[in-house]
Amino acid sequence: MNVRRRATRTVTPEAARLPARVWAIGGGKGGIGKSFIAANVAATAARSGRQVLLIDADLGGANLHTCFGMPAGRGPNLSDFIEDRIQDLDKAAEETPIPGLRLIRGALGHAGTADTSHEQRTQLVQASRGLGADLVIFDLAAGMDRATLDFFLETDESMLVATPEPTSIENAYSFLRASFYRKLAHGLRDSPVRDLVREAMDQRNERGIRTPTDLIAEIERLEPAAAENLRKLISSFRPRLVVNQVRNREEVKLGFSIRSVCRKYFGLDVEYLGYVSYDDLVWRSIKERRPLVVAYPQSDSAIYIRQIVKKMLQP
């Protein structure tokens, strides 16, 4: 796909001067409420007066439209843009029932992102900045394929969603580790230590490199000059964490525990944005196909989501 060619959309001078901020919301596994979080974060931002564009980047299981009570669409979607069936990404955007919020759907049963290159995904993110929105939010596919990791890394802010379940926590660590090494692989592409980074991505490597901290130590030993560039890359990787479906105080503390582990063993600064409680009203809003912050704005979970968005929107 030729994203660079198609990114030339005519926008007002004001929009051109103020490109959109771009967020990505990801998770290591399915079933953790990632799309629920994405829909409610987007709705909250739109209800605060911002023009928001929500992009369903899960081309294999797109379902964001159901969160807004929108019927299955037959119009243009993200897959059409990726496969050159439409030339203007903006033509795939449609209004949602939330004023100020537009949605670009993915396509059910499609796996096209695996066939796109890193450069193409980067250009897609850049193209989304020029669509006249204040904020663009990518709802990513579950898992850790290259397309998902690239979207997570190329945006201005990246949010990782996890639940208190052991499988979700393990996948959250794996997602952060994979994202980190993906960032290093691209950032150190022309470095003499690039092969060492690739080797470190295999946890069974013979050098015994198990964490980013181990990698830094090994690079300092072999190529001290490259270690400073590595530190800069690490400091620029600051994902944010939201724990969903929290039931008690111990589970509230989980976010702080994950942050502590990431700092101690990965050398990564992960910000714990907050949590969303396990709530029957969440289930009810999903059944009603309305964002929780619209259907039940005074519920505890809706309040927590607004607090998370407030933190994200801070300069």
Residue 109: predicted pLDDT: 55
Q: How far apart are CA 124 and CA 84, in angstroms?
A: 13
Q: Give the pLDDT means over successive 10-residue stretches in the chain (315 positions).
A: 39 53 91 94 97 89 89 83 85 95 80 62 87 95 89 94 95 90 83 82 82 82 81 87 96 95 85 96 96 97 97 88
Q: What is the pLDDT of residue 112?
A: 45
Question: Kind of pairing, strands 101-104 and 93-95?
Answer: antiparallel
* Residue whose entry in the numeric block shows the structure tokens 């479906």: 245
Q: What is the spatial distance between Cα 299 and Cα 80, in angstroms, rounded to a whole number? A: 38
Tell me, what's the pLDDT at 16? 43
Domains of the chain, by residue range, sit at 1-162+279-315, 166-242+261-274
Query: What global pTM score does this model have?
Result: 0.88
pLDDT at 115: 62
Contact predicate 104/55, CB 8 Å: yes
Fold of 1-162+279-315: Rossmann fold (3.40.50)
